[in-house]
Every structure is written in structure tokens, then in C-alpha cells.
A and B are shown apart, each in its own frame.
Chain A
Amino acid sequence: MRLGPLIAQALEIAVALAAAPLFVGWVNQCRAWLANRSAPSMLLPYRNIRKLFHKDAVLAQNASPLFRIAPYVVFGAMVVAAAIIPSLAGRLPLVVAADAIALVGLFATARVFLSLAAMDVGTAFGTLGARREMMIGFLAEPALLMVIFVASLISATTALPAISAHLASEHLVIDPSLAFTAIAFTLVLLAENARIPVDNPATHLELTMIHEAMLLEYSARHLALMEWASALRLFNYACIGFALFVPWGIAARDIGPLGLTLAIPLLALKLAAAGAGLAVIETVSAKLRVMRAPEFLATAFLFAVLGLLVHVLLGGA
């Protein structure tokens, strides 16, 4: 086996690990600007993670081993997902190893472990958060799969690098089905990453929490891994979005130094734009009541299905 692809793969994982907290910091900074507050440093998530790694972990007395291994499983799943998604290049050893459906399964695994760990200690808030997370998860997953199916139908494959290579090579056309699925994907991204219309990442009110409520019992290195994992999840979702809807600039064939050095600044540019867009969406929308979340996700599913139907009907025109 040649060494080049392995180095490129390692580089892709390293970029994901390093850029994920920075991306969260960038979104927070944009949100602060839009709300006319003075922004926190973009490096704050790094400092937070470092601080948490230096602390001593405290575990609840009745915590089972599951509670302790869950952060490693969740973090591991997110790192593997980052390796599968073609964020920099298309032909890396791990990128071609699994397709988009396996990727959705990986996200589901992380979600199941997170929810089980939240229920493990048996506090009211943890259970509440886990139940809400599962409610949102089981509605978001079909919508995400439907988005992937539309892209697969267009390019006749479920492998993400092949999809993005196919979409990048096409003529630039106004494709209503891709536009609908892009909207559906954005809605799923907001719901799955605990962003504002569904959950507030900055909330301190336990009753409205979804994601944060599940992390209340964690401390120190476990909490650091969980926070890093959720930053990675946001980064991964953004990269899936890029692979499907703005596939230009991902090094499809050339994984030499030149292709990668071109891909990294382009990825940074796309991330900066996506983060700003995310901040705008979060600033202009208000948090939904939890009972409205199914309606929100039904809308996402509807958009994805409409994309599918429009493609089936108008695609052959």
C-alpha cells in the first residue's frame, strides 16, 4: 500500500479535529456580532476543552461502565464519520470504505450511546433530554436519509465521494429538486446539532434543554470529549452539505500535495460562509416549543420528498 493516501487521510482527520472547535467558535462570534454583543474569542472552545482535560473527573455513585465509555464511543463515532466524509479529497482509503447510509448509521450509534448514558444515572433532566433527543432523532433520520436518496438517485450511487464528483462534473443547471433537498438538509442540520429553532446551545434553563440536559452529569475529560464530539458533529454535517450541494473544490482524483493545498483554503472559505449563514438563521428565528419540533422535521421530510418527486417527474425533461 502506498503511503501517500494514508498521509492524506490522516491529514483529513487532523483537519477535522482541529477545525471543529474553531468552527463552533466562529459561529458563536458571528452570532455575537449579529446580536450587537462584543464577541468572545474564536479560540474559546479550545481553551474550554483544554481546561476540562486538566480537571479531575467526578462520576455519580450509581454510574455504570456504560456512562464512562459513552464519551469515547460518541467521540470515536464522530472521528470515524469525519474520516468517511470527503471533506478534502474523494479517493482516500477510509472515504471509499463506507457509503452515506453507513454514515447515517454511525450518527445513530452516537445518538443511542449519548441517550443511554444520559439515562444511566437516572436523574430527571438526563432522562428528559434523552427522550427529547430520541424524539427528534427518529424524525430527523428519515429526512436525512431522504436527502441522501435524492442525491443518490441523481448520481446513481450511495457513495458520498462518487455523488459529489458526479454533481461537480455536471453542467450548472437550475435544479429545483436539489434546491428542495438543500433546504431539507439545512433543517435537519439545525435539528440534529441542537441549533436554535429546535434547541438552544447557549441555554441555562434545564427545562428547555435537549442536548445540554444529557451532558449535565458529565465533568472533566468526559465532558471535554462530549463537547468536542458535538463540535465535530456540526463540522461533519457542514461537510456532508458541502459534498452534496457545493461539491466544487474537493480534490476528486488528485490527492497529491497540490490538490490538498488547494482543497484546504476552499474548505475554510466554505466553512466561514456556512458558519455566517448558520448564525444568521439562528439570529432571525426563535426557539420552537418542543411540541412544534415534529412539525419542523415533518417540513424537512416534506422538502426532501418533494425534491425526490420533482426529480422523478422533471428529471428526464
Chain B
Amino acid sequence: MTHIPFNQQLLNACAALLLLLSFAMLSQRRIVSLVSLYAVQGAVLAVATLLLAWRTGEGNLYLSAFLTISLKVAFLPWLLHRLIRRLQVYWDTEPLLNISGTMLIGIVIVVFAFGLAQPITQLASTSMRNAIGIAVAVVLLAFLMMITRRKAMSQVVGFLSMENGLFFGAMSATYGMPMIIELGVALDILVAVLVLGVFFFQIREQFDSLDLHHLERLSERQ
């Protein structure tokens, strides 16, 4: 094995940790822990961004690391925790599939994602191109989480985790998106979570629960 620089080792470790955290979120039944795991995922992402910024010397990566920390590690988890307290939702109901089954599907998805990322990996010229597969896997695992969960709260965390995956993918394929797009995405997420927070209250007022299968029937009749 060729010798890998220490910085690259740390980046690889961060990528592996992101994948692990995705699986941890997939298996987590408690919403409070889910939000904490999301914050940890954000923190790992910020560390990876900082390492990459230090390595490549790209100034705007520092900025996006700062954005990640302030938004995904501090503000959004705080907002979600506050919503959980206000709405009194601490547990997700039993997910549609049992946990072990979801995990096995998750493994298949990771293999699929790695295959999917293979052509992109060959095209990219960054030092982190091997991590693109992990980024795709994180996105797809977040999808899986949104599919298998019933409560609106876990689905929102899945949505946010998906954005983490996209961010990581952009970082490993092209050393980050242009600053203007990054700012736009960050603003989008912020607004989305704020709006969804209002939505939660509306959903609960209508149906007395945050279980989204009440929304499947679109008729006026009760």
C-alpha cells in the first residue's frame, strides 16, 4: 500500500464516519437522538470541510465550514429540539420496516451507490474523488429514512441529512459549490425548516398527531 498523507487519512476517516452516522440515524427510534446525530453529522462535515480547506488552500471552503457549523451544528438542531419540546414528540412509532431489514436494504443501497459513483469518480480530478460514492450513499440512505419513517419530524431530519450528503458530494467532486449557490442552498434549508416547523403545528392541529399517513387521503371527508 502506498503511503497516504495524514490529512488524507483524516478526510477518509471523516467520510467513513459520515456513512456510519447515516446508518446510526437509520436505526435510531428516538427523535431526540436523531436530531443529536444530525448535529454530529454536521460537525463531522464541518471538520472535513476545514481539513479540505487547509489542504487545498481554497478560501471559500473556510466560509462554507463556518456556515455548516453555525447552521447545521448549532442553529437547526436547536430549532428542532425546541420544536420537539413544544410538540411533545419524543419517539417515532415503529417504522414501516423493522430495523434489521432496513439495515440490510441500506447495505444494498450503499453497494448500489458505489457502483453509481464509479463513472463520476473516474471523471473527477480531486484528491477526494473516492469519497463521492460515500456522498451518494449518504443521500440515498437519507431517502430510505424518509421512506421508512412515519412521523413528520424524522422525515424532516432525513431531508436535512440528504442535504448533508449533497454538500459532501459537491465537496469531494469539485472542492465545493460556488459560494452563491451554497449560500442559496443554506437559505433554502433555513426557510424550509422554519416553514415545516409551522406546518407541524398545523398538521397536529388537524389530525392530533404527526403521523403522515393521515395526509395520504386527500378528500374533505373525515
Contact = CB atoms under 8 A, between A and B. Distances in A.
Contacts of B103: 298-299, 302
Interface in A279-317: 294-295, 298-299, 302, 305-306, 309-310, 312-317
B16 interface: yes
A180 B20 contact: yes
B201 to A, nearest CB: 34
A241 to B, nearest CB: 20
B43 interface: no
Contact of B8 (A180, A316, A317): A317
Given A312-B114, A314-B12, A305 B131 contact: no
A310 B131 contact: no
A176 interface: yes
B23 interface: yes
Contacts of A179: 13, 16
A295 to B, nearest CB: 6
B111 to A, nearest CB: 7
Interface string A7-24: 000000000000000000
A166 to B, nearest CB: 10
Given A298-B100, A312-B114, A313-B114, A306 B23 contact: yes
B137 to A, nearest CB: 8
B12 A176 contact: yes
A179 B20 CA distance: 11
Interface size class of A (residues with CB under 8 A): 20 to 34
A194 B7 CA distance: 40
A174 B114 contact: no
Interface string A82-115: 0000000000000000000000000000000000
Given A180-B20, A309-B110, A174 B100 contact: no
A316 B131 CA distance: 11
Interface string A164-177: 00000011011011
Contact of B12 (A174, A294, A305): A174
B25 interface: no
A179 B104 CA distance: 20
B182 to A, nearest CB: 25
Nearest to A155: B1
Contacts of A298: 99-100, 103-104
A176 B10 CA distance: 9
Given A294-B100, A310-B16, A316-B130, A302 B23 contact: yes
B113 to A, nearest CB: 10
Contacts of B16: 176-177, 179-180, 306, 310, 314
A295 B111 contact: no
Q: Main SS of chain A's interface residues?
A: helix
A313 B99 CA distance: 25
Which of B1, B3, B10, B110 counts the most A-chain CB atoms under 10 A from its CB? B1
Contact of B9 (A173, A295, A309, A313): A173
A298 B4 CA distance: 32
Given A294-B100, A295-B100, A171 B131 contact: no
Interface string B13-33: 101110110010001000000
B194 interface: no
A135 to B, nearest CB: 13
A313 B104 CA distance: 19
Given A173-B4, A176-B12, A298-B100, A310 B107 contact: no
Contacts of A314: 12, 15-16, 130-131, 134
Interface string A151-168: 000000000000000000
Given A171-B3, A309-B111, A314-B131, 20 more contacts: A173-B9, A174-B9, A176-B12, A295-B100, A298-B103, A299-B27, A302-B23, A306-B16, A306-B19, A306-B20, A306-B107, A309-B19, A309-B110, A309-B114, A310-B15, A313-B130, A313-B134, A314-B134, A317-B12, A317-B130
What 6 pairs across the A-B complex have the smallest Cβ distances? Answer: A176-B16, A298-B100, A174-B9, A314-B12, A310-B16, A317-B130
